[in-house]
A and B are shown apart, each in its own frame.
Chain A
Amino acid sequence: MNWTRRTMLACGGALALGIGAGPAAAQNRIAISAPWGVGPDGSLMKDVTVVIADGRIERVLQGPAEVKADKTYRFESGVISPGLIDVASTLGVVGNNAERKTSIEPDVSVVDALDAYSSTLLDAGRAGVTSAMIAPASTGIVSGACATIRTFAPQGVDRVLRGDGPLTVTLGPASWDDELGPSSRAGVLQELRDALRNGKAEGGSSRLARVARGELDVIVDAASDEDVDSAMQLFGQYGLTPIVRHTADLVETASELGENGGVVVVGPYTFASDVRLLAGPASLGKAGCEVAFSGGLPYLEADALRLTAALAVRYGLDPAAARRGLTINAAAVAGLGNRIGALTPGSDADIVVFSQDPLRLDARVLEVWVGGERVHKAEPASASDDDDAWKAW
């Protein structure tokens, strides 16, 4: 049986849906089945079996199925989900991702600063976040290329999924500087326009040239609606639609973002977040936009990514849209829609089994699989002698 098909603009044709491909002669075929699974459209599908071979997802079956596999892991309860992806993260690069030499630094690669031994990577992994798109800090107009990394990387599995993009662009006050560069919005736009024009004229494989030719994706760190306007105007001249990361109240600008389509990055949200902020994702959903979530890892707790999505749902975002925001849309933002973020044949087998719907905060991570290997298995939670404890009150 097939997953419900859903055309994801941002993923292009990367998602090979269509299941039931002939059994390959792969060795070490593993089957994981659970009563529920998260489909590429973000909905919860009943009775899902994921067949893994050679580190990739070979098949995804829905409904009662008999699969011949070398090993079968059957969960009596639980939800199989693609590994969650934190967008605009600083996992493993805290304190090492803010370059301020000049205002335009297209050749900086945040992946160079990655500390693969940071314990925060494992904390994130154990919370079900198998990948993170780490970003340079927005300290200049162009502050470098994001990278997407795995939190768990067992031997033989890539730590770095992508190291050269998207390129981070900041147009608002965060990038203004009296000494290093332009000190106003007009100045920033002028300087960026020049840089792109020069890049286009020079040609070659420089990042700015690739941006100008529409070959390299751009993520705009927007802290206001004005920033969104500026970005759309500027990149529109090159026929580009940048990915917008909106960190502020976007209720007013939701419809404009909706016209552009694509995925908008939102979050992180906490219990203290303002109502208008929390209502943003729902406004985007109504405007026809997809969202992807930033969980603010590792500054916030590893569960903050799921909390961000849960709060967006609490304030009106469709649950399926929120699950897409944690997985397939995040992969699209990272430019890795063909490798991670969905339980689809051909994708890397980065899988998390949750005890319940990952949007429920009482859901536990039961197991984490990366590249077809089990990298984490939860210890049974502690028991509290509930009833007796409460009789005393």
Chain B
Amino acid sequence: MIATFDRVDAGETTAPPGEVRCTGRSRGLSGAAVLAVAFVAAAGTQAWGQPNFGLQQRATVLEHATLLKTDGGTIDDAMVVIRGGVIEHVGPAIEVQGRATRIDCKGGYVTSGLIDVYSALGMTTTRSGSAVNRAFDAFDRYDTDSFREAFRNGVTMMYLPATGSSGIVGIGAVVRLAPGEGGGWAGEAVKDEAALCIDLGSGDAALRRLSTLESLRRQFKDAKTYRESLETYEDDLKEYEQKIKERAEKEAKEEAKSKEGGNGKPAPAEDKKEGGKPGEGDKKDEKKDEITKPKKPSPDPSADVVLKAIDREMRVRILADRSSDILNAIDFAKEFNLDAVIEGGSEAYLVADQLAEAKIPIVLGSFMGSGLHRNDQYRRQLDRSAAVLADAGVKWVVGSGVSDGPSGRFVLLNAQLVAANVSDVDPLRMVTRDAAEFLGVGDRFGRLAPRRAADVVVWSGDPLAAGTRVERVYVDGKLVYRESGSAGGSEGGEQ
């Protein structure tokens, strides 16, 4: 069941989507001012709210929780206060101002929501082949079954690449499973232009892969040419405007002179000149009128996207599994000075030194195959990949991959598998803080700390231990999942 809240701050106080809402204003105000009170419908997806008086938002207080410290220790009997979509307090119990819903988390752990750096959750199959195609457009915001499964496993945010045949396949997005207005759907593009997605087609035949690379280079060069033609146009336009202006001034002068002439003082010199050679004069006038307006190059939205990548405004994620493709990707990134990341990377361990030298990070897919066709040989290569890459100094992360959507649930289990193969990897940190920072949203997400976004998971125990369940999930401060049958503290207060 997904129970969603109405937007607590709907109406005039709504902050622009994607902006961290400040809670300072609501602190310490009179509790008499009641904001929208939302309920968890016990057996349905219906959500409803009361009018928003815009003064104070009800806080959610997670009491007696255990928190995992970044250094590996734990803090017992801690309190986490959520208000208006952000975390207001993390630490020892404090007196919470205003109205609050208190949840007793005794025995449970609270962490920030899990983040997948490489996922296909909620994605409809796409065969995208253009830079302007956006992964977020292929994201099914009504795929609530998948979202419930994601929440059941603590996942609240993921990077969704555009997928397609080969070459430039589109724009990837960072999507957070924030509940939508009215309930029943979810999905907020935290970054809708997270990366330009390129697939080098490692599964294709050699010649095909070469032509893919060739066409990539051409598209990038064409984008540069397009920009040059735009710049030329701008210059020409300025020149043209200047000429027009000059002519206008000249004509104005002439007109003024002729007016003066009209007053009794003709302009003999001019008359003489033009009068002396009337034919030429006419021609000159015609030439003056011929100042041609430069033609604007026809718009090229794909090139605009590629230019963002060239200007390093957008990261480029290159899917490449074969070592030769990875080397090509490194060259390509160097040639165009891209902020590049390599995805997939089954054979990355073979070219670890080159990756380290190029300072190109790598996103590995899942360590476990999802079908019956991967053999142990392949598996060992992947195992070795992470360890060899780590030793070589390559920055690497692991996501659940895009082979199928449902795998996007098991972000933490996947991270634990990684941790079994490479020492000094903290699986939880890998899928919270590290993932958020990798996706460039570390300032808002991935940590349980004041002023961060309130994407919070309540676990029945240590998240890494066997038998631990997710009891509650909050996204944007709103309860989006509650384990069926969980007592979950003073729920009465919520109603």
Contacts and interface: CB of A to CB of B under 8 A. Distances in A.
Interface of A: 119-120, 123, 270-275, 296, 298-304, 307, 310-311, 313-314, 316, 318-319, 322, 355, 357, 359-364, 380-386, 389-390, 392-393
Interface string B444-476: 000000000000000000001111010000000
A319 B466 CA distance: 6
5 contacts: A301-B374, A303-B417, A361-B416, A389-B390, A393-B438
A313 B412 CA distance: 14
Interface string B406-431: 11011001101101111111110000
Contacts of A302: 376, 379
B350 interface: no
A299 B368 CA distance: 12
Contacts of B420: 303, 355, 361-364
B373 A299 contact: yes
B407 A301 contact: no
Contact of A322 (B370, B416, B434, B466): B466
Nearest to B388: A382
Nearest to B426: A386
Given A319-B466, A363-B420, A314 B153 contact: yes
Contacts of B379: 301-302
Contact of A301 (B149, B376, B419, B437): B376
Contacts of A123: 376, 380
B292 to A, nearest CB: 51
A319 B395 contact: no
B372 A296 contact: yes
Interface string B365-400: 011111111111001100000011011010100001
A320 to B, nearest CB: 9
A316 B410 CA distance: 15
Contacts, number: 129
B442 interface: yes
Given A303-B417, A360-B416, A381 B423 contact: yes
B345 to A, nearest CB: 15
B422 A381 contact: yes
A129 to B, nearest CB: 12
Given A314-B413, A361-B416, A362-B419, A384 B372 contact: no
B353 interface: no
A310 B425 CA distance: 20
B404 A362 contact: no
Contact of B387 (A273, A296, A381): A381
A272 B425 contact: no
A273 B406 contact: yes
Given A271-B370, A300-B372, A301-B368, A389 B393 contact: yes
Given A272-B404, A381-B422, A389-B393, 6 more contacts: A270-B368, A270-B369, A272-B403, A361-B417, A382-B387, A383-B424
Nearest to A273: B406
A364 B425 CA distance: 13
Interface in B315-367: 359, 366-367
A136 to B, nearest CB: 18
A310 B410 CA distance: 11
Nearest to A268: B372
Given A314-B153, A384-B390, A384-B425, A271 B467 contact: no
A303 B367 CA distance: 10
